[in-house]
Amino acid sequence: MAEPLGQIMDALDVETFFVCASEAEGRTYMLALLKQWGLKDVDIVFVQHEGPGARVRGRAYVYRPADKYQWLLGGEGRS
């Protein structure tokens, strides 16, 4: 079986609700979480603070356009 991360076409999205004081704090939590999981190319695509915290959707890019896609090359790896 191929490595699951290598089979992702472009990016991995993660969404959760952080208990926090502001959108900025929620954004910081999400970026730290994704980097803690070993994902390097990360960004925030949505954040909304409401009530006790913020709903945040983070995106970890596995491949960017023009990368060598592992799923296309049959396991030769990425650039």
Model confidence pLDDT, tens digit, residues 19-75: 999 999 999 999 999 999 999 999 999 999 999 999 999 999 999 888 888 888 875
Query: Can you tell me the distance from the alpha carbon of 79 to that of 77, in angstroms, rounded to the nearest whole number?
Result: 7
| The pLDDT of residue 53 | 98
Instruction: Give the domain range for residue 43.
Output: 9-61
Handedness of CA 43, 46, 48, 52 (dihedral sign): negative
CATH at 43? 3.30.30.60
Q: Is residue 35 in some structural domain? A: yes
Confidence of residue 79 (pLDDT cuts 50, 70, 90): very low
* Best CA proximity match to 28, nearest among 56, 52, 60: 56
Handedness of CA 5, 7, 13, 18 (dihedral sign): negative
* Best CA proximity match to 62, nearest among 2, 11, 1: 11
Count of domains for the chain: 1
Q: Is the pLDDT of residue 77 over 80?
A: no
